Each structure stands twice: as C-alpha cells, then as structure tokens.
C-alpha cells in the first residue's frame, strides 16, 4: 500500500487531505458522521477578531458545475473560538489544526494570529487575504503584492507558528503576490480561493445573491486552480496547499503533480459530507493504479 503521509512545515500529516475553511465548520457536525481523525488535518471556519453575522440572505446560488456563495465570514469571533470551539473540538480531533483567520486591517490579522500563537491545538495559521465576499477587507488585501506583503509581515511577527497565506485567483499576476508573501516570511501558500461570479433570476431580473457577486467554487474552477498551483510552484520555494474544485482522489493526484504538498477539499463537502472520508479511502487504490508508492514524492512531478 502507498505511503500517504506528507510533511507541511515540519508537521507530519497521515495523508494530504484537508477540508477547506468554510466548508467544515469547526468539525462538530462531521464528527457525528465519521471519525474525523482520519483526515490529515482540517482548516476551521474563517475567524475574525469580532463576531460576524455575515452577509444578508440569499447567500447561495447554484451553477451547472458548482455553486456561488456570499456568506461573508460569518463566525463567532476569536474569543469564542478559543474559549468554546477549541476545547470542544479537542474532545473529537487529536491532530494539529489549521486555523484560518480573516481581517479588515493589518492589525486585526496580527491580533488574531497572536491570540492563536499559544493554542497547542493549532499547527498552522492560514491567513485568508482572498475572501471575495466582504467589503473593506478580505480580498482587498490579496489583490496587490504590497498589501499581501504587509499582512504577511505583520502576521509573521505575531506568531511562531507556520504561516500560510491564502491567495485569490481574482488578480493579474498571482506569482508576483506569492513571491511577495514568501519574501516577508510566509512558510507556505494556500491557493486558490473562489472566483468572482454571479447568477440572475430571470423572473425578478435581479441578482440571485443579495450581495450581487459571490465566490464560485466546485468542479468548474478545478482547471483554473490547477494552472495557478502549477505556476506558483515554479515561482516560490515554499510548500503549497492546493485547492479549488477538487472532488476525487484523481483530482488530488493531479493537484499534487502540479505542485501541491497537501490538498484541501472545499465545495464537495457541501455536496457530500463524506467526500473527504471517501477520497482518503480511494487514494491507496488510485496510487497503486498509477504506480505511486510514496505520495509525497509526486509533488511537482508534472514540471
């Protein structure tokens, strides 16, 4: 059987499968369906300094090969995450977590990173500078190399934990932004977040989503994600967590060949809550079919 273990910034994962932030909550509901300790890790719901209700409804629109969402970083705030969610999660998940943080200022990002610095459960801090569904923050920090670098520098100085910067595909040159993050001390890159899109209701002749635009995810964006992971792998010398439309074990292999060291599963969790479990179960057979004995060795194999 293939060795599915991978390393991320000194942290050994049993396999490369990681549910993406915003699609797995804090793991509670999924732990009622299966033992979530089979996961390599998971990235918990994007957390900000203060509690956020998120965007007005409706927030979701179907598309032929995915979905558009505009949830808007709804979360209970960093205090409740540390004082309530993490202690509760410790009872069901025994591995290092990925803590996803968002913000509306450089200072807020640094504050959240500093608060999580002493939490033993947190292995990696994932910094979301790519959310397209909030105004005055989120993607605004990820659309230029200088602003991405500023957030990276502030977070890097606020924590000793590995820092991965989650990048937006809604940019002109993602490689320039990734290199700027690396230069300011990022330990890794997560990509891609969702693509901007919308749907219009033909009966009302109005946008389906209250926020008008939202983030497109699902199988439709997989080729875009794959191409960006491929390009960024050549541009930086730090690990990549690849994501975007991944829905099968074959997709995981393809994403790793493009350059990912680990792979996050997002929208597919909302379609099938057993998606990550199924992919982990299928990986050994897929590895055998393609002659892969150690999955970590295929990262970047397509280059």
C-alpha distances in Å from residue 163, one per residue of 34, 124, 126, 204, 276: 29, 6, 6, 44, 24
> Hey, what are 14's tokens?
């049993």
Q: Where are the domains of the chain?
A: 6-55+72-196+217-298
pTM listed for this prediction: 0.95
Class of domain 6-55+72-196+217-298: alpha beta
Structure tokens at 154: 């502030």
Query: Distance between CA atoms of 155 and 158, rounded to whole angstroms?
Result: 5
- The yes-or-no answer on residue 175 being catalytic is no
d(CA 289, CA 286): 5
127: left (phi over 0), alpha (psi -120 to 50) or beta: beta
Catalytic residue among 112, 131, 181, 276: 131
C-alpha pair distances (Å), 276 with each of 19, 64, 103, 133, 187: 7, 22, 28, 25, 25
Which residue pairs from 202-210 have beta carbons closer than 8 angstroms and sit at least 24 positions apart in sequence? 208/58, 208/61, 208/68, 209/58, 209/59, 209/60, 209/61, 209/68, 209/70, 210/55, 210/56, 210/57, 210/58, 210/59, 210/70
Q: What are phi and psi of 6, to 5 degrees?
A: -140, 165
CA quadruple 73, 76, 80, 81: dihedral, nearest 10: -30
pLDDT along the chain (303 residues), means of 10: 96 98 94 97 96 90 93 92 96 97 93 97 94 51 86 97 96 96 98 95 96 94 98 98 98 98 97 97 98 98 98
The β-bridge partners of 303 are none
Token code pair at residue 240 = 């990549």
Q: State both tokens at 132.
A: 């397209």
Under 8 Å between Cβ of 256 and 4: no
């Amino acid at each position: 059987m293939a060795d599915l273990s991978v390393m991320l910034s000194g942290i050994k994962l049993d396999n490369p499968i990681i549910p993406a932030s915003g699609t797995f909550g804090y793991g509670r509901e999924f732990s009622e369906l299966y033992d979530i300790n089979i996961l390599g890790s998971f990235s918990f719901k994007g957390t900000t300094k203060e509690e956020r209700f998120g965007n007005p409804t409706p927030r979701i629109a179907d598309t032929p090969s995915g979905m558009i969402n505009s949830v808007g970083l709804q979360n209970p705030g960093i205090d409740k995450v540390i004082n309530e969610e993490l202690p509760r999660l410790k009872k069901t998940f025994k591995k290092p977590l990925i803590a996803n943080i968002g913000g509306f200022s450089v200072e807020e990002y640094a504050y959240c990173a500093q608060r999580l610095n002493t939490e033993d459960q947190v292995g990696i801090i994932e910094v979301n500078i790519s959310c397209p569904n909030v105004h005055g923050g989120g993607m605004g920090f990820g659309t230029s190399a200088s602003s991405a670098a500023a957030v990276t520098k502030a977070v890097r100085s606020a924590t000793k934990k590995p820092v991965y910067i989650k990048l937006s595909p809604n940019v002109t040159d993602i490689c320039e932004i990734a290199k700027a993050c690396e230069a300011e001390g990022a330990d890794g890159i997560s990509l891609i977040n969702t693509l901007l899109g919308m749907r219009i209701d033909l009966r009302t002749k109005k946008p389906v989503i209250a926020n008008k635009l939202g983030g497109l995810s699902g199988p439709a964006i997989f080729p875009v994600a794959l191409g960006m992971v491929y390009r960024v792998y050549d541009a930086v010398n730090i690990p990549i967590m690849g994501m975007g439309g991944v829905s099968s074990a074959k997709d995981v292999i393809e994403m790793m060949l493009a350059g990912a060291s680990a792979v996050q599963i997002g929208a597919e969790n909302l379609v099938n809550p057993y998606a990550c479990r199924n992919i982990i179960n299928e990986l050994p057979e897929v590895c055998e079919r393609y002659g892969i004995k150690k999955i970590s060795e295929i990262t970047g194999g397509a280059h």
